[in-house]
Amino acid sequence: MNSPLRVLVTNDDGIDSPGIAALARCAVELGHETIIAAPRVEASGTGAGLTASSGGRRAAVQRRVLPELPEVTAYAVDAHPGLIAMIGCRGAFGGKPDLVLSGINFGANIGRALIHSGTVGAALTAHVNGVTALAVSLDVPWDPPGTPLWDVVDPYVKDVLGLIEPGTVLNLNVPNRPDPGPLRWATLTAYGRVQSRVVRQDEEMIELATVILDDEVEPGSDAALLEAGYATVTELRSVSAVERPRATPPR
């Protein structure tokens, strides 16, 4: 997809995250018509939820100017990224895009746990609505928190956009280091490295905490390759029926 495209850029870390400016800059430098529409506030962990932040069927929209990209039209939307992707693919923000870019997420999105990610959820929602999509994440450590090296992602995004096939949805993860390894195709690990667990429960409250898993991961999976220093890309399959013979349902 090297010809000029109409590109919608969104994320789940919010319009003020430096990651979204870094991702939009990739599209601009490739000569694509670029529009930014992202949650007004952070919306991590919202999956593909079609929720306006204020509830109901309305989402407030505010024009914004990003200091890093003053020439790019940008909108802060009171909605989760799944809803932003859906309405964008249905003509909001100036017309249907050819491509949705989602990210750059602060932290990796790997394994089957990515179903919970708002970054990946936006890409999957775009795919359901007939638009090619790429979710992009930077593997910034959680504990202790690391300093994100947003610029290292740029060449990998450009490489993937050179090979992405129309009608597909890809998930890209890049190590947060000055010299990441080459790009590798990867499978999904069983879950991921970050998980929420119940740490306290009583009659009035359930408290969750984020924990880092140190379980062994499958060779060739996104988790294993990312830990070895490679950037990883995985083609995802959106919602579809399982194709296999089944018994005739009873009447």
User: Would 44 be classed as within a structural domain?
Assistant: yes
User: Would 48 be classed as within a structural domain?
Assistant: yes
Tell me the pTM: 0.89
Minimum mean pLDDT among 34-48, 60-74, 144-158: which range?
A: 34-48
- Residue range of the domain that includes 152: 6-189+218-236
Residues 208, 162 contacting (CB under 8 angstroms): no
User: Would 210 be classed as within a structural domain?
Assistant: no
Buried b (16+ CB within 10 A) or exposed e, 197-218: eeeeeeeeeeeeeeeeeeeebe
User: Would 80 be classed as within a structural domain?
Assistant: yes
Kindly list the distances between the CA atom of residue 219 and the CA atoms of 4, 112, 186, 198, in Å, as whole numbers in the listed order. 37, 15, 9, 29
Count structural domains, the chain: 1
Other C-beta atoms closer than 10 Å to the C-beta of 154 total: 16
User: Would 241 be classed as within a structural domain?
Assistant: no
User: Would 133 be classed as within a structural domain?
Assistant: yes
Q: What CATH number has the domain bearing residue 155?
A: 3.40.1210.10
**Per-residue pLDDT tens for 137-171?**
999 987 777 899 999 999 999 999 999 999 999 99
With a CB cutoff of 8 Å and minimum separation 6, the contacts of 153 are 22, 23, 26, 104, 136, 138, 174
User: Would 86 be classed as within a structural domain?
Assistant: yes
Residues in the chain: 251
Distance, in Å, from the CA atom of 188 to the CA atom of 223, rounded to the nearest integer, reads 8
User: Would 70 be classed as within a structural domain?
Assistant: yes
Provide mean pLDDT across the span 231-250.
83
